[in-house]
Structure 1
Amino acid sequence: MELDFKQILTATMVLFAVIDIVGNIPIVISLREKSGHIHSEKASIVAAVVMVIFLFLGESILRLIGINVNEFAVAGAFILFFIALEMILGVTLFKESDASPDLASIFPLAFPMLAGPGSLTTLLSLRAEYDIWNIIIAIILNIIIIYAVLKTSGKLQRVLGKNGIMIIQKVFGVILLAIAVKLFTSNIQELFN
């Protein structure tokens, strides 16, 4: 075990960019409105557990079920695509009955938004370059940030107001759509190569 501050900082920043919790605020607020409440602790813990397990067993699990990382990323891109469509068009694709606080805290919040294909494939690529303990510390730092944002999303909603949230939701919906398309195109090319 060799702790390297530079590796921790880089891995934290890369994961922070991929998870994009700030960009996900409108989705969090929308989920909170649908389900009435979101369990910040549960969502953060589930996301952390999924990321750490995937860090150690990700490639093995995917190989075991006959899926490669690129196929996994393409599937995740579809989920992100539909969440983005909900945000941009104001349509509901995930049924309201599916939006209990317990379920919404895990799906789609903890997985695939926080611990999704983007962050999980990023973890696999970080593992190839960095010491595993530095990556685990980076995951923990990101989970602390995620928890803080989830806990304060109600306050952010009051500060921004309905129109502010709607504008941010549309803008970040387009950004999320672009991320989904990028994730799809970069991984679909790998599948055909």
Structure 2
Amino acid sequence: MNFDILEVGKAFMVLFAVIDILGSIPLIIKIKRKAGDIHALKASLVALGIMLAFLFLGEGILGFLGVEVEAFAVVGSLILFALGAEMIFGIQLFKDDDEQSLKIASIVPIAFPLIAGAGTMTTIVSLNVEYQPINIAIAIFLNMIIVLVVLKLTKRIEKLLGKGGIAILQKVFGIILLAIAVKLFADNAKLLFV
């Protein structure tokens, strides 16, 4: 286990792009409006825990359950696709208005699958092949600091953007989310049938 700043930097950038917390701001605002509040620290810690657990135990757990990483990624892509469709078309696919769902909004869907989703977990497994786990863990931790800051500043970001800005961002990032979902599906679905 050797620390390498270059590996940390590369893993950080890959995870930053996949987590896409800045692109998720419109969705976070939408969830926050429904749930009333998001516990930024709780969401960040849960996502951090999920990602670190997946870094060290992920392949083993999926293997034990008989689930291929590709199948996991395909399911994640379908969830991302549904979230993107909600953002673009203004429809509601996820019915979560009951009191219990609102209480856990910081965990589902913020911590999982938005931050620590199938795309992130698949990326972590891929990075684990190329880089030392300690460097990936540091990259995950650094990304979670950024996630925490963005979640804490959601109200200020919302005020800064205004309703029009949020609506535009929501549509744009909904399209990006759909594109990521399609790519994740295409990359992994074909591997399931080889």
Q: Could you say which TM-score interval applies, normalised by the shorter chain? A: over 0.9
How far apart, in 2, do the equivalents of 1:156 and 1:98 lie?
27
1:28 aligned residue = 28
SS of alignment partner, residue 138 of structure 2: helix
- Runs of at least 4 residues of structure 1 off by over 2 A? 98-102
1:172 aligned residue = 173
Matching of residue 66 in structure 1 with residue 66 in structure 2:
yes
How far apart, in 2, do the equivalents of 1:94 and 1:34 lie?
12
- Cα deviation, residue 101, structure 1: 4.5
- Cα deviation, residue 93, structure 1: 1.4
- Cα deviation, residue 124, structure 1: 0.6
How far apart, in 2, do the equivalents of 1:164 and 1:41 lie?
26
1:56 aligned residue = 56
1:157 aligned residue = 158
2:109 aligned residue = 108
RMSD after superposition: 1.1
Q: Contact (CA 8 Å) 1:39, 1:102: kept in 2 or not?
A: no
Work out the number of aligned pairs and report it. Answer: 193
1:141 aligned residue = 142
SS of alignment partner, residue 21 of structure 1: coil
How far apart, in 2, do the equivalents of 1:156 and 1:15 lie?
22
Unaligned 5+ residue runs, structure 1? none
- Cα deviation, residue 65, structure 1: 1.1
Using structure 2 for the length normalisation, give the TM-score.
0.97
SS of alignment partner, residue 2 of structure 1: coil
How far apart, in 2, do the equivalents of 1:113 and 1:77 lie?
11
Q: Contact (CA 8 Å) 2:34, 2:97: kept in 1 or not?
A: no
How far apart, in 2, do the equivalents of 1:105 and 1:177 lie?
23
Using structure 1 for the length normalisation, give the TM-score.
0.97
How far apart, in 2, do the equivalents of 1:39 and 1:102 lie?
10
- Cα deviation, residue 102, structure 1: 3.3
How far apart, in 2, do the equivalents of 1:20 and 1:180 lie?
13
Percent identity (aligned): 54
Matching of residue 192 in structure 1 with residue 190 in structure 2:
no
Q: Contact (CA 8 Å) 1:27, 1:169: kept in 2 or not?
A: yes
Q: Mapping of 1:117-136 within 5 angstroms?
A: 117-136=118-137
1:5 aligned residue = 5
Structure 1 37/14 Cα, relative in aligned 2: closer, same or farther at 3 Å? same
Matched letter for residue 88 of structure 1: I
- Cα deviation, residue 153, structure 1: 1.0
SS of alignment partner, residue 67 of structure 2: coil
Q: Contact (CA 8 Å) 1:38, 1:102: kept in 2 or not?
A: no
